[in-house]
Amino acid sequence: MSPPPEPKKPGGEKPAVNIERVDQAAILLMALGEASAAEILKHMGPKEVQRLGTAMAQLKNVQQYEVEAVLANFMEEVRTQTGLGMGSDSYIRNMLVTALGEDKANGLIDRILLGGNTTGLDTLKWMESRSVADIIRNEHPQIQAIVMAYLDADQSAQILTYFPEKVRLDVMMRVAALDTVQPSALQELNAILEKQFSGSAGSQTKSMGGFKTAAEIVNNLESGAAGELMDSIREIDEDMSTQISDLMFVFENLRDVDDKGIQSLLRELSSDVLIVALKGADEELQEKIFSNMSQRAAELMRDDLEAKGPVKVSEVEGAQKEILTIARRMADAGEINLGGGGEEML
């Protein structure tokens, strides 16, 4: 969470610059120009591009001194690192459509996606969840499980919502039981998409699936659907249910994150999202969050939380899920330690 900007200093000095990191990245790309920005986007995944594109579309009235501050900050960070560490996971289509419109977005997607060595499975990451569900709906459950294990957990969770409950159960148990996948299975899945996408499978088995992947997918389901699914798995295989539950990380588990981790996480969150998420948190977790803010920021947050009034459960769950997504991303990058597994879902 970023503190409020400081007032303009006397004597005509420029005000202190306080810009969230995603907005800094958006300003940097805008300053670099269309061609350079497009080259950078090619090395990023859909999640990052969607987030950046949204930020770029929302930029308004950026002052020259703010651009200069962002560029200076970027150069300072580059000097202290050996590389930029660009990621390569997936999420772009929605962002580009929002920022550029359907026609331009589709053209850019074609250039970024199909211009490289993208396999059928990789291409699925860039598609709407409903479209992926339609493509694999009539395939063997084991093929469906491979798709779920390969895609990002939040996208897999969305795809599951388009399947009947019985199919969800079958697929999730297969995901949890997966360990490695033979090249022939990957080739079969790529063949399904052969007319639309190009790609080939390697000769080595690929590790995917397992209890951790299953736990991440369930974490991204709506709470009601997640509870029903875990109940069904428990009835069939209690040991599998326990293994999955032990690896799940829910919002309440933020209590187990150390203070340094909470402080790092707070720097990535907007106050609006945090306030909504805390409306559904118990007093212990709220105090954990407040204790890792400055006294002034904590007082302001308490006041905002009290003044917020009633919030829909769906909004609270959405805000908490957004925070958990950021927390997991930071944990994957080694920036924070999430600690132990989550609570068993009853």
Residues 139-167 have pLDDT tens digits of 888 888 888 888 888 889 999 999 988 89
Predicted confidence (pLDDT) at residue 229 exceeds the cutoff of 50: yes
CA atoms within 13 A on the CB side of 158: 12
- Is 50 exceeded by the pLDDT of residue 131? yes
What's the pLDDT score for residue 173?
92
Give the mean pLDDT of 223-251.
84
Alpha carbons within 13 A on the beta-carbon side of 106: 3
Does the domain at residues 251-332 carry the CATH identifier 1.10.220.30? yes
Spatial CA neighbour of 277 closest among 339, 333, 336, 325: 325
**pLDDT at res. 20:** 81
> Does the pLDDT value for residue 342 go beyond 50?
no
User: Which range is least confidently modeled, 191-200, 204-213, 240-249, 331-340?
Assistant: 191-200
Strand partners, 180: 207
Residues of the chain with CATH 1.10.220.30: 117-247, 251-332
Mean pLDDT of 170-195: 76
- Give the pLDDT band (50/70/90) at residue 83: very low
Look up the pTM and report it. Answer: 0.46
> Rounded mean pLDDT of the chain?
75
pLDDT at residue 205, as a whole number: 52
State how beta strands 180-181 and 206-207 pair: antiparallel
Residues 6 or more apart in contact with residue 82 via CB below 8 angstroms: none
Q: How far apart are CA 10 and CA 32, in angstroms?
A: 32
Beta bridge partners of residue 207, listed in sequence order:
180
Instruction: Using the predicted structure, report yes or no on whether residue 319 has a pLDDT greater than 80.
Output: yes
Calculate mean pLDDT across residues 272-277. 90
Alpha helices in the chain (DSSP H): 21-32, 34-41, 46-58, 64-79, 93-100, 102-113, 120-124, 129-136, 141-150, 153-160, 165-177, 183-192, 211-219, 223-236, 238-247, 259-266, 271-278, 283-290, 295-307, 313-332
pLDDT at 207: 64
- At residue 28 the predicted structure's pLDDT band, cuts being 50, 70 and 90, is confident
Closest CA to 48 of 15, 89, 20: 89
Asked if residue 323 lies in contact with residue 251, where contact means CB atoms within 8 angstroms, the answer is yes
Percentage of the chain exceeding pLDDT 90: 8
Residue 343 and residue 346: Cα distance in Å, rounded?
9
108: confidence class by pLDDT, cuts 50, 70, 90: low
Is domain 117-247 given the CATH code 1.10.220.30 in the classification? yes
Distance between CA atoms of residues 198 and 191, nearest Å: 9
Count Cβ atoms below 10 Å from residue 83 Cβ, excluding itself: 6
Please report which confidence band the pLDDT of residue 81 belongs to, taking 50, 70 and 90 as the band edges.
low
Q: Please give the average per-residue pLDDT across 73-93, as a whole number.
A: 52
Lowest mean pLDDT among 1-10, 44-53, 313-322: 1-10
Radius of gyration of the chain (CA): 22
Inform me whether the pLDDT recorded for 4 exceeds 60. no
The burial of 56, by beta-carbon neighbours within 10 Å (0-12 exposed, 13-18 middle, 19 or more buried), is given as buried
Q: How much is the pLDDT for 171?
A: 92
Answer yes or no: is pLDDT of 344 > 60. no
| Predicted confidence (pLDDT) at residue 74 exceeds the cutoff of 80 | no
Rounded to an integer, the average pLDDT of 85-97 is 47
Say how far apart CA 50 and CA 239 lie, in whole Å: 38
Of the given ranges (156-160, 296-300, 301-305, 333-337), which has the lowest mean pLDDT? 333-337
CB 129 within 8 A of CB 159: yes
What pLDDT band is residue 85 in, cutting at 50, 70 and 90? very low
C-alpha span between 326 and 273 (Å, rounded): 12
